[in-house]
Amino acid sequence: MGDLERVPVGVIGASGYGGVQLVRLLTDHPKLELAYLGGDSSAGQEYSSLYPHLGHQVQQMIEPIDLEKIADRCQAVFLSLPNGLACKMAPTLLEKGCKVLDLSADYRFSDLDTYTHWYGLERDDREVAETAVYGLPELYRDRIAEAQLVGCPGCYPTASLMALSPLFKQGLVLTETAIVDAKSGTSGGGRQPKTGLLLAEADNSLGAYSVAGHRHTPEIEQICSDLAGHEVLVQFTPHLIPMVRGILATVYATLRDPGLVREDLLTIYGAFYRNSPWVKLLPGGVYPQTKWAWGTNLCYIGVEVDPRTNRVIVMSAIDNLMKGQAGQAIQCLNLMMGWEETLGLPKLSFYP
Interface with a second copy, residue 300, by CB under 8 A: yes
Task: Tell me the site size for a second copy, rule CB under 8 A.
Answer: 87
Which of 16/137 has CB closer to a second copy?
16
Looking at 6-14, 90-98, 146-154, 295-303, which segment touches a second copy (CB under 8 A)? 295-303
Q: 70 near 98, Cβ under 8 Å?
A: yes
Q: How far is CA 88 from CA 83, 106, 121, 128, 165, in A?
A: 10, 10, 12, 11, 32
Which of 119/252 has CB closer to a second copy?
252
Applying CB under 8 A, which of residues 289, 337, 339, 343 lies at the interface with a second copy?
A: 289
What is the smallest separation between the CB atom of 91 and a second copy, expressed in angstroms? 32
Which of 89/321 has CB closer to a second copy?
321
Applying CB under 8 A, which of residues 42, 80, 290, 297 lies at the interface with a second copy?
A: 290
Q: 183 near 164, Cβ under 8 Å?
A: no
DSSP state of 255: B
Looking at 33-41, 61-69, 148-156, 203-211, which segment touches a second copy (CB under 8 A)? 203-211
What residues does 236 pair with on adjacent strands? 180
Window 118 to 177, contacts with a second copy (CB under 8 A): 176-177
Applying CB under 8 A, which of residues 121, 199, 261, 271 lies at the interface with a second copy?
A: 199
| 251 SS3 class | strand
Window 99 to 128, contacts with a second copy (CB under 8 A): none
Q: 117 near 123, Cβ under 8 Å?
A: no
Which of 112/298 has CB closer to a second copy?
298
Which of 129/279 has CB closer to a second copy?
279
Contact characters 227-256, a second copy, x per CB under 8 A = ------x-x-x-x-xxxxxx-x-x-x----
299 is catalytic: no
Window 318 to 337, contacts with a second copy (CB under 8 A): 321-322
Which of 54/61 has CB closer to a second copy?
54
Which of 148/316 has CB closer to a second copy?
316
What is the smallest separation between the CB atom of 308 and a second copy, expressed in angstroms? 6
Window 10 to 69, contacts with a second copy (CB under 8 A): 17, 20-21, 24, 27-28, 51-57
Q: 107 near 86, Cβ under 8 Å?
A: yes
Looking at 30-38, 67-75, 91-99, 180-188, which segment touches a second copy (CB under 8 A)? 180-188
Question: 34 — phi, psi (to 5°)?
Answer: -80, 115
Interface with a second copy, residue 186, by CB under 8 A: yes
Q: 299 near 278, Cβ under 8 Å?
A: yes
Distance of CA 157 to the CA centre of its chain: 7
Interface with a second copy, residue 211, by CB under 8 A: yes
Q: 235 near 208, Cβ under 8 Å?
A: no
Per DSSP, the residues of 46-69 read BHHHH-GGGTTT--PBPBP--HHH
Interface with a second copy, residue 187, by CB under 8 A: yes
Largest CA-CA distance found in the chain, in angstroms, rounded: 63
| 352 SS3 class | coil
Question: 315 — phi, psi (to 5°)?
Answer: -120, 130
| 112 SS3 class | helix
Q: 50 near 41, Cβ under 8 Å?
A: no
Interface with a second copy, residue 315, by CB under 8 A: yes
Catalytic residue among 87, 98, 155, 299: 155
The span from the CA of 302 to the CA of 284, in Å, is 7
The span from the CA of 337 to the CA of 335, in Å, is 5
HSE of 87, CA atoms in CB hemisphere, 13 A = 25
What is the smallest separation between the CB atom of 92 and a second copy, expressed in angstroms? 31
Interface with a second copy, residue 206, by CB under 8 A: yes
Active site positions, annotated: 155
